[in-house]
Structure 1
Amino acid sequence: MSASENIAVVRKMYESKADPAVLQEVIDPEIVWDITPGFPGGGVYNGFESVGRDFFGPLFARVDTFYPVGEEYYADDADHVFALGHYHGETKAGKTADVRFIHIWTVRDGKLAELRQAADSLVLDRALNG
């Protein structure tokens, strides 16, 4: 796929605000989901099922709302899309947080096959625990 087609796949995911039907459509079932240490649930998850159960399950037990907002997109010729943006979240206690991130996506055959994430985990930690 071209760089612009790969960016379109990533944009579609962000613009859906994590709509489950869109996620099912654009995420490879065997995705590697690498979340920076220090972020709630930080670690490496293998497979879409594990991402939903083991990463998002515990996170959504602590938040009412949490979704990524893409702001800038760049792509290379090796099927990577670099997305700058922020997560918008609201905790169960009513605190809001806008957490900056960079995502590096690998796109294969029109699907998101790998995510490497770095984010300002302190902002989210303060909203969840402070």
Structure 2
Amino acid sequence: MSASDNIALVRRLYEAKGDPAVLQEALDPELVWDVTPGFPGGGVYQGLENVGRDFFGPLYERFESFNAVGEEYFADDDSHVFALGHYEGVTKKGNSADIRFIHIWTVRDGKLVKLQQAADSLVADRLLNG
């Protein structure tokens, strides 16, 4: 795939806002999901099923709503897409904030196979704890 095709794939994922059909189409079943330490659920997850259960499951227990909003996209010649954006979050307690992130995606054979995430963990911690 070309760099512009890779960007279109990542952009489509964000615009889908969790649509299961798009997730299944875009994400490799053996996806590696690497979330920066200090962020809620920080760690490395292997496999789409584990990401849903072990990362998003506990995350959604703490949030009424949580969405990643992509704002800028860049690609290199090695099948990486860099997405800058923010998370929109509203906790179960009614606190809300926008949390900046950078996502580095790896694309292989038309699927997203790896996410490396860095985000403003301090804002996330204050949002959840206070």
Q: TM-score, normalised by structure 1?
A: 0.98
Q: Matches of residues 9-48 of structure 1 in structure 2 within 5 Å?
A: 9-48=9-48
Structure-2 separation of matches of 1:24 and 1:99:
26
1:89 aligns with 2:89: yes
Letter in 2 for 1:66: F
| DSSP-derived class of the 2:44 partner | strand
- The alpha carbon displacement at 1:18 in A equals 2.0
CA deviations 1:83-111 (Å, max 9, x no partner) are 00001111001111100000000011111
- The alpha carbon displacement at 1:45 in A equals 0.2
Structure-2 separation of matches of 1:66 and 1:21:
19
2:64 equivalent in structure 1 = 64
| DSSP-derived class of the 1:78 partner | coil
Structure-2 separation of matches of 1:71 and 1:31:
23
- The alpha carbon displacement at 1:61 in A equals 0.3
Contact 1:18 1:68 in 2 (8 A): no
| DSSP-derived class of the 1:61 partner | helix
Letter in 2 for 1:28: D
**RMSD, aligned CA:** 0.7
* Count of residues in Structure 1 that have an aligned counterpart in Structure 2: 130
Letter in 2 for 1:2: S
2:126 equivalent in structure 1 = 126
CA deviations 1:42-81 (Å, max 9, x no partner) are 0000000000000000000000111100010000110000
Structure-1 separation of matches of 2:60 and 2:18:
12
Structure-1 separation of matches of 2:80 and 2:71:
16
CA deviations 1:105-127 (Å, max 9, x no partner) are 00111111000000001111111
- The alpha carbon displacement at 1:21 in A equals 2.2
Structure-2 separation of matches of 1:46 and 1:59:
17
Structure-2 separation of matches of 1:45 and 1:68:
18
Structure-2 separation of matches of 1:41 and 1:20:
21
Give aligned-pair identity as a percent.
74
| DSSP-derived class of the 1:127 partner | helix
Structure 1, gaps ≥5 residues long: none
